Amino acid sequence: MSRKLVAEFFGTAWLVLGGCGSAVLAAKFPEVGIGLVGVALAFGLTVLTMAYAIGHISGCHLNPAVTVGLAVAGRFRFADVPGYVIAQVLGATAGAAVLYLIASGAPGFVLGGFAANGYGEHSPGHYGLLAAAVSEFAMTFFFLWVILGTTARRAPVGFAGIPIGLALTLIHLVSIPVTNTSVNPARSTSQALFAQGWAIDQLWLFWVAPIAGAVVAGLVSSWLDAEDPQSANAALSAER
Total domain count for the chain?
Answer: 1
Is residue 232 domain-resident? no
Express the helix, strand and coil content of the chain in percent, nearest 5 each.
65, 0, 35
Lowest mean pLDDT: which of 10-19, 24-33, 105-114?
24-33
Q: How far apart are CA 240 and CA 74, in angstroms?
A: 14
Confidence of residue 227 (pLDDT cuts 50, 70, 90): low
* pTM for this entry: 0.89
pLDDT value at residue 231: 45
Q: What is the CATH number of the domain that holds 167?
A: 1.20.1080.10
Question: pLDDT tens digits, residue range 137-169?
Answer: 999 999 999 999 898 877 677 788 899 999 999
Please give the radius of gyration of the chain, using alpha carbons only, rounded to the nearest integer.
17
Tell me whether residue 230 is in a domain: no
> Is 12 domain-assigned?
yes
Identify the domain containing residue 157 by its residue range.
2-106+116-224
- Give burial (CB, 10 Å; 0-12/13-18/19+) of 140: buried
How confident is the model over 21-74, as pLDDT tens digits?
999 998 766 666 788 999 999 999 999 999 999 999 999 999 999 999 999 999
Q: Categorize the per-residue pLDDT at 212 as very low, low, confident or very high, splitting at 50, 70 and 90.
A: very high
